[in-house]
A and B are shown apart, each in its own frame.
Chain A
Amino acid sequence: MINILGQVAEGQIWQPTLTELSYFAPELVLVATLLLLLIGPLIAGRGSGATLVMVVVGMVAAVVANLLVMNQVVTGPVSGLAPAAGHMLLVDNFSIFFKFFLLLFLLGVTVLWMVGSAATERNAPEFYILLLGSMLGMSLMVSTMNLLLMVMAIELASLPSYALVAFDKRNRPGAEAAIKYVIFGGTCAAIMMYGVSLLFGVFGTLDFTRIAPQLVEIFENLAQVPASKLALLGLALLAMGAGIAFKISAVPFHFWCPDVFQGAKIEVTTWLSVASKAAGLCLLLRLLQVLAGSAHASGHGFSAAFYLQVVTGVVAVVAAVTCLLGNLAAYRQQSVKRLLAYSSIAHAGYMLMLGAIVLTGDVTQLVWQTVVIYLVMYLLMNLGAFGATALVIGQTGSDQLENFTGLGRRAPALAAGLAICLFSLVGIPPLGGFIAKWWLLWALGQAAMQQMHWWLWALLLWASFNTLLSLFYYLRVIRQMYLVNDDRPGLKVPAGGVVLINVCALLLLLSGTLLVNPIRQKVGRYTDHIFGQSPASIVQVNQPQNISGNQLDGRSRERIDTQ
C-alpha cells in the first residue's frame, strides 16, 4: 500500500487514455451489447424478435467500430491497454480480420437460429448473451501476446460454450455432452494455467514477446543450461500447448469434439466448429510467430536451434495425427453431425500444419495469407454443411444419414447447396475449398523448397493423402442424397435456410472461379503490416510517459524487433 501511495504522489498510476480505449472499441461495443441484452428484455420483453433487434444493433455498431479501428492500424499494429506490461492488447490487421470473421459468422449462425429455433425459443436473450460472451473471448484470444490475458480469453470463450451446449434443459444428450465438455475443458485449462505459471516463474514476465527471446537464447545454449531447467521449460510449454490444443481439438485433446457436436443444438455446434477452432489456431500461430521472429533476430535462425525444430516437430506430428484420426474416424459415422465433427477435426489438422511451417520463418507472409483464406472458406463450407443438416433435423427430427436418403429429389435446392459445400470440404476444384487447400499445399511446398527438410515434403504428401481419404466419407453423404432412393415424401424446408446454404455454396463457387484474383489481392489487406515494418516486429506506439527513468529504457515507443 505504501508503494501505491508513493506512486500516486509521483503521478504514476496508470490509466488508459481515450485514444488507447478507442482501439478497444469493438470489444467495448460487444460488452455494451451484452449489458443491453441483460437489461433490454426487462423493458422490451423476452421475445426472440426484440432480442434479434438488439443483437443486430450491437453487430452493426461492432462492424462500425471495427471499421474505424481498422483505418487506424492499417500501417502497423498498435499495442497497449496495459501499463508497463505491454502487448496486453494487440490491434493489427489480422485481429481486425478476425473480428470481421466472427461477426460474419455470427450473422450466419443468427440466420440459422432464426430459421430453426427462434420461433420456439423461450430464452433468446440468454442464448445471445452466452454466444456474444464466447465471441468476446475469442476476439481477445486473437489480439493478445500476454499470457495472462490469453488464459482469461480462453476461459471467457470456453465458459459460455459449456453453458451453450447444455442450453436446452430437456435435452439429455446435450447435458451429457456439456458435462464431458466442462470436465475436459476445466482440466485442460488447469493444465494450461500450470504451464503459464511455470513460465512466469522462470522468466518473471507474462509478455510472450519478452519470453520468446529468452526462450530462444536458452535453446541455443543448451550445454550451459541445467537439465532441470530444461525439463521445467519443456513441461511448461507442453502444458500451455495442451490448453490451446483443447480449443483447436487437436489429437489427443479432441475427445470432447464429437460428443459435444452431437449433443449440442445445431446452431451451437456450428458456432463451436468454426469460431472456437479458428481462435485457438490463430492464437497458436501468433505465439509460434513470435518464437520464430525471436530465433531470426538472434541471428541463428531456425536450423541452428535444435529445440525450435523439436517444437516444430511436435506441432507437425500433432497436425498429421489429427488429420489422419479425423478422416479415419469419420468413415463409420451414421450421425451426420458426428461425421462433420470428425471432418472439422481433420480440417483443424490441415490448418495446424501451418503452425509447423511458421517456425521455419521463411514463408511467414504466405502462412498468414493461407490462414485468412482457409478460415473464410472453412466458415462458408461449414456454415453450409451444418446449416443443411440443421434443416434436415428440423424436418425429420434426427441427423442420421438415412434421413438424407433421396434428398436430391425431396429437396433439390437444399441438396445441391449441401453437395457443393461437401465437395468443397473435400477440396475439389473449382470450389473455394480447393483454393484454400491449394494455398495450404503451396505454403507447405514453399517451406519445403526453402528449408530442404524431408519431413516438410512428407507433411505435404500427408496432406494430399488425407484429402484423398476424406473424399470417401463426404461422398457417402452425397451418394445417400442422390444415388439411394426410396419413396420418402418431399421436404418442405424453410426458404430462409435454403437461401443461406445456397449463398454459401454460391460464394464457394465464385471464390474458386471468378473471384480468385480479387481474393488474393484482398487477403494482402489483412496480412500486410501485421508485424509493423519488418515481419514479426511489434510496435508499441502508446505512452507510458509516466514511468520513472530507469524503467523507461527501451520501453516507451518501444519496437521489439523479433525478426
Chain B
Amino acid sequence: MYGLMLILVVGFLMAFVVLVIGKLVRPAVSHPEKDTPYECGEPPVGSSWVQYDLRFYTVALVFIVFDVEIVLLWPWAVVYKEIGLAAFWPFLIFFLLIAIPFIYEWKCGYLEWVRGSGGQADEPPVTSTESRRLSATAKAMS
C-alpha cells in the first residue's frame, strides 16, 4: 500500500516539479517562429484540420475485422490436424459469421474505391481566416 502511494506521489512530483522549474527558469522571449508546428524550420502548408476521406475508415474497419479473424484462425490452424472435425464445425460457423457480412459489404459496394460521393459535399476549401493566419506566419518567417 505504501509502495503504491510512494510511486504515485513521486511520479506526480517528478513531472510537476520539472515543469515548474522549467517555467521559473526559462526566459520568456516570444517569437512567431517558435509557435510554428515544425521547429526545424519547415513551413507548414495548409490547415492541419484535414477531413479524411470516409473510404479510409471503411477500409480500416474491414482490415481490423479480418486481421482479428487471422489472429483467431492461427491457433485453430495449428491444432486442426490433431483435433479434426471437432474443430472444423465451430470454425465453419465462425467463418460464416464473418463471410456473410463480407458478402454484404462487397455487394453494397464498400470495397469499390471509385464510387459516387453519395451526395456528400467535397472537402471544404481552406477558410479565409485560416489562409490569413498562414500568410502571416510566412511573412514572419521570411
A-B interaction: yes
Give A residues with C-beta under 8 Å from B: 1, 4-5, 8, 13, 15, 31, 35, 38-39, 42, 226-228, 231
In the assembled complex, the CB of B76 is this many whole angstroms from the nearest CB of chain A, namely: 11
Chain A residues, CB < 8 A from B34:
none
State the CA gap A39–B100 with chains docked (Å).
7
State the CA gap A343–B42 with chains docked (Å).
57
In the assembled complex, the CB of A469 is this many whole angstroms from the nearest CB of chain B, namely: 43
Q: Mark B101-119, 1 if CB is under 8 A from A, else 0.
A: 1011001000000000000
Q: Are B1 and A35 within 8 A (Cβ)?
A: no
Beyond A38-B101, A39-B104, whether A1 also contacts B79 by CB under 8 A is: yes
Chain A residues, CB < 8 A from B1:
226-228, 231
With beta carbons under 8 angstroms apart, the residue of A15, A31, A42 that contacts B104 is A42
Nearest 3 CB-CB pairings of A with B: A228-B1, A38-B104, A42-B107
State the CA gap A304–B97 with chains docked (Å).
50
Interface residue? B86 (CB, 8 A): yes
Q: Are A13 and B78 within 8 A (Cβ)?
A: no
State the CA gap A231–B1 with chains docked (Å).
10
- Interface contact tally, CB-CB below 8 A: 32
State the CA gap A96–B78 with chains docked (Å).
39
Chain A residues, CB < 8 A from B96:
35
State the CA gap A4–B1 with chains docked (Å).
39
State the CA gap A228–B5 with chains docked (Å).
11
Interface residue? B40 (CB, 8 A): no
State the CA gap A353–B7 with chains docked (Å).
40
Q: Are A42 and B90 within 8 A (Cβ)?
A: no
State the CA gap A15–B85 with chains docked (Å).
11
Q: Are B100 and A5 within 8 A (Cβ)?
A: no
- Interface-centre pick from B75, B96, B101 (highest chain A CB count, 10 A): B101
Interface residue? B14 (CB, 8 A): no
Chain B residues, CB < 8 A from A35:
96-97, 100
Interface residue? B9 (CB, 8 A): no
Q: Which B residues between 40 and 72 are near A, CB-CB below 8 angstroms?
A: none
State the CA gap A35–B104 with chains docked (Å).
10
Beyond A39-B103, A42-B107, whether A4 also contacts B90 by CB under 8 A is: no
Q: Are B103 and A42 within 8 A (Cβ)?
A: yes
With beta carbons under 8 angstroms apart, the residue of A5, A31, A231 that contacts B82 is A5
